[in-house]
Amino acid sequence: MKIIVTGSLGNISKPLTKELVQNGHSVTVISSNPEKQKDIEALGATAAIGSIDDVAFLTKTFTGSDAVYCMIPPNFHFNGNLDPTAYYRGIGETYAQAIQQSGVKRVVHLSSVGAHLDKDSGIILAHHDMEQALKKIPGIALTHLRPTAFYYNLLGFVGAIKKQGVIASNYGADDRVPWVSPLDIAAVAAKELVTLTEGINVRYVASDELTCSEVARILGAAIGKPDLKWVIKSSEETQNGLEAAGVPPLVAAGLVEMNASMHSGVLFEDYYRNRPALGKTKLTDFAKEFAAAFK
């Protein structure tokens, strides 16, 4: 099959590309960075250098392909002038136009847990809007992948652990959270891209289910801090802490609202109604990577 992968050589797209190439597929990887071309070609894939903001570029790249993997890089995390929801909505419409104009019929979209919510989900609301944009495209087989909380986002707590000796956010302690490895997402995406389906489908992806206290215990053991705790602080404290760390206020507010929906459990309600088989990469596996980053 001829498959298009967006996301350059990111945490999911790189292992996804590797697996697809190893399985004999013709893979084109879209990247906005010309310096990535050699690395993409080294994997046995073809590089298409351009922007996912560019409808004409996307349409040309998608044309003639059997399947497309669509994701949106979270660039708004680093640009205080970008409204996350508006950013996702704009890229979503661009993808929708390119898919429709190119005639590609199989689309796998990287969404997020919580995308079923149309309010009070913080930055996840952007994924809801993206799903809605793609659902309007007639005549395609569409799968929304909804991964849960990413292991590697836990790396954001390294500095706080070193300075304060605890993990702290406006969710935590006994809150039960499903976690996921990008490797398990890539494995699911690889299968979905070559599976012929009809209509619109949703597939949740998770690797482990743990309370935040259990997460702290596992990570603490890996870094030589067996008594590490994950404590809950107020939303206001979390907002202030994120802004102090350089996160744009609008993005920080979106993260705080998302965290609050994790703490209440609302973000995961649909996940538990449609619980998937868990992937093979457990938090104990990621803990080694966390320990290396902590040094």
Could you give phi then psi for residue 169, rounded to 5 degrees?
-160, 180
Listed range (47-61, 67-81, 110-124) with the worst mean pLDDT: 67-81
- The answer to the question of residue 241 being in a domain is no
Model confidence pLDDT, tens digit, residues 252-263: 999 999 999 999
**Percentage of the chain modeled with pLDDT above 90:** 91
- The answer to the question of residue 167 being in a domain is no
Q: Where are the alpha helices (DSSP H) in 23-83?
A: 37-42, 55-62
Structurally, how many domains does the chain consist of?
A: 1
- The answer to the question of residue 265 being in a domain is no
Q: Number of C-alpha atoms within 13 angstroms, CB side, residue 281?
A: 19
- The answer to the question of residue 97 being in a domain is yes
- The answer to the question of residue 80 being in a domain is yes
From residue 184, how far is each of 3, 19, 88, 112, 172 by CA, in Å? 19, 12, 24, 14, 24
Please report, for the domain that includes residue 24, its CATH number: 3.40.50.720
Return the structure tokens found at 146. Answer: 């909804």
**Residue 142 and residue 135 in contact, taking contact as beta carbons nearer than 8 Å:** yes
| Per-state percent for the chain, helix, strand, coil, to nearest 5 | 50, 20, 30
- Cβ neighbours of residue 284 under 8 Å, at least 6 residues apart? 218
Question: What is the reported pTM?
Answer: 0.95
**Residue 127 and residue 114 in contact, taking contact as beta carbons nearer than 8 Å:** yes
Residue 105's domain comprises 2-151+180-206
Model confidence pLDDT, tens digit, residues 68-114: 999 998 765 556 667 777 888 899 999 999 999 999 999 999 999 99
- The answer to the question of residue 214 being in a domain is no
User: 236-258 burial, b if ≥16 CB within 10 A, otherwise e?
Assistant: eebbebbeeeebbebbbbbbbbb
- The answer to the question of residue 279 being in a domain is no
- The answer to the question of residue 257 being in a domain is no
pLDDT band at 33 (very low <50, low <70, confident <90, very high): very high
Distance from chain centroid for Cα 262:
16
- Cβ neighbours of residue 37 under 8 Å, at least 6 residues apart? 31, 47, 49
- CA 251 – CA 176 distance, rounded (Å): 24
Q: Which residue has the tokens 């950013």?
A: 87
From residue 129, how far is each of 76, 94, 111, 201, 262 by CA, in Å? 16, 13, 10, 16, 19
Residue 168, amino acid: A
Model confidence pLDDT, tens digit, residues 157-195: 999 999 999 999 999 999 999 999 999 999 999 999 999
